[in-house]
Structure 1
Amino acid sequence: MKKIISALGLMYLSACTMQPARPVQPDEQGPVNSEESQCIGSVELDPQVAQLFAVSDDREMLQRALGSPEQGKLCQGKVYQLKPGQTLPLHRSWNSTNPSSQMGSWWAFNKPTGKVSLYRNDYEICYQWSPLDKLTQCQLKAGAKVVIGNGQSAQCSAYLSYPVSAVQQVYIENSSESMQDCEQFDGVFKWQSDMIESN
Structure 2
Amino acid sequence: MSNEPRAALAAMPRRAGLALLALAALAGCATAPTDPLGLPASLQGRAEVLRLDDPDYERAAAWSALKAPGQGGVLGVAVVRIREDLPVYRLWNGPAVRDARGNTNRLGGWWSADAPSGTVAQYRSDYEVCQTWNQLTWLARCTLRRGAVVAVGPGQSVSAQTCGDASGQESYPPNRQGWQIYIDQPWQRPQELSCPADTQDIEVNPGDVGKPKAAVAGR
- Decide whether aligned partners of structure 1 residues 116 and 141 sit closer, same or farther in structure 2, where only a CA change above 3 A counts: same
**Which amino acid counterpart does residue 169 of structure 2 have in structure 1?**
Y
Deviation, 1:111, is: 2.0
1:136-147 matches, cutoff 5 A: 136-147=140-151
Q: Is the Cα contact below 8 Å between 1:133 and 1:187 reproduced in 2?
A: yes
Q: Distance in 1 between matches of 2:180 and 2:150?
A: 10
Deviation, 1:88, is: 0.3
Deviation, 1:142, is: 1.4
- TM-score, normalization: structure 2? 0.63
Report the equivalent of 2:66. 66
- TM-score, normalization: structure 1? 0.69
Q: Distance in 2 between matches of 1:131 and 1:35?
A: 34
Deviation, 1:160, is: 1.4
Report the equivalent of 1:179. 193
Q: Is the Cα contact below 8 Å between 2:90 and 2:139 reproduced in 1?
A: yes
Q: Which has the higher Rg, Structure 1 or Structure 2? A: 1
Report the equivalent of 1:5. none
Q: Distance in 1 between matches of 2:27 and 2:75?
A: 5
Larger helix proportion of the pair: 1
Q: Percent identity?
A: 28
Q: Is the Cα contact below 8 Å between 1:35 and 1:69 reproduced in 2?
A: no
Deviation, 1:74, is: 0.8
**Which amino acid counterpart does residue 36 of structure 1 have in structure 2?**
C
Please give the root-mean-square deviation of Cα atoms over the aligned residues, in Å: 2.9
Matched residue count: 158
1:87-166 matches, cutoff 5 A: 87-96=85-94, 97-98=97-98, 99-155=103-159, 156=163, 157=165, 158-166=168-176
Q: Distance in 2 between matches of 1:138 and 1:102?
A: 11
Deviation, 1:101, is: 1.1
**Which amino acid counterpart does residue 72 of structure 2 have in structure 1?**
G
Deviation, 1:174, is: 2.9
**Which amino acid counterpart does residue 128 of structure 2 have in structure 1?**
E
Equivalent residue for 1:168, pick from 150, 154, 179: 179
Displaced runs of 4 or more, over 6 A: none
Which consecutive unaligned segments of at least 5 residues does structure 2 have?
1-18, 31-35, 209-219
Which consecutive unaligned segments of at least 5 residues does structure 1 have?
1-25, 192-199
**Which amino acid counterpart does residue 185 of structure 1 have in structure 2?**
I
- Decide whether aligned partners of structure 1 residues 164 and 102 sit closer, same or farther in structure 2, where only a CA change above 3 A counts: same
- Decide whether aligned partners of structure 1 residues 128 and 31 sit closer, same or farther in structure 2, where only a CA change above 3 A counts: same
Q: Distance in 1 between matches of 2:118 and 2:26?
A: 29
- Decide whether aligned partners of structure 1 residues 171 and 180 sit closer, same or farther in structure 2, where only a CA change above 3 A counts: same
Q: Is the Cα contact below 8 Å between 2:69 and 2:158 reproduced in 1?
A: yes
Deviation, 1:94, is: 1.0
- 3-state SS, counterpart of residue 73 of structure 1: coil
